[in-house]
Amino acid sequence: MSNARSLIVKRAVQEIQDGMNVNLGIGIPTLIANEIPSGYNVLLQSENGLLGIGPYPFVGNEDPDLINAGKETVTAVRGASFFDSAESFAMIRGGHIDLAILGGMEVSEQGDLANWMIPGKMIKGMGGAMDLVNGAKRVVVVMEHANKNGESKIKKSCTLPLTGKQVVHRLITDLAVFDFTPEGMVLVETQPGITVEDVDKNTEAAFIVSQELMIK
């Protein structure tokens, strides 16, 4: 993992509580599976039909038939169950997922999320994010603060096709943690060594600084 992704993953795992049913999206979220504290009774769910995803397998121990929604080989914990994707989406749409941790391409200051396609690029399908942002009890988005060109991915308004409007509860980047409230987007934490000024300089969206800001 890059240092930026490592910071994001370490902070994101703190969102998971013992006893939760959690869906991890494609990309950075899948890295969280290896970081869940031992002793936690957490069931990771995948849209393609697996409840009870374990850590990534060691090299040589991969099972090509055991994959997550991102087509990566995974392991299954004791007590895991397998089912078809229709049953999987029934779990999501029925409100049985406590937490969805998803990757993002853009997030707006209103809590809108764009993460399913870039116009003009070939995609295999829209995936399950549209269902997750509406069916999960809590939605946390994890992504790098800026794109490869150094432009802020946290926008006044998303420029990419939306996955959902006003669906993000918390955003975690390599610079900061934001919450989305009726009053607006609120900066609640900064990553180690990052100041409020650093966040402001690298963020297109307008935000409020929490009075209880945690600076690590």
183 in catalytic set = no
Active-site pick, 15, 47, 106, 144: 47
Instruction: Please say whether the beta carbons of 31 and 114 come within 8 A.
Output: no
Secondary structure in 3-state letters for the chain? CCHHHHHHHHHHHHHCCCCCEEEECCCHHHHHHHHCCCCCCCEEEECCCEEEECCCCCCCCCCCCCECCCCCECCEEEEEEECCHHHHHHHHHCCCCCEEEEECCEEECCCCEECCCCCCCCCCCCCCHHHHHHHCCCEEEECCCECCCCCECEECCCCCCCCECCCCCEEECCCEEEEEECCEEEEEEECCCCCHHHHHHCCCCCCEEEEEEEEC
Residues belonging to the active site: 47
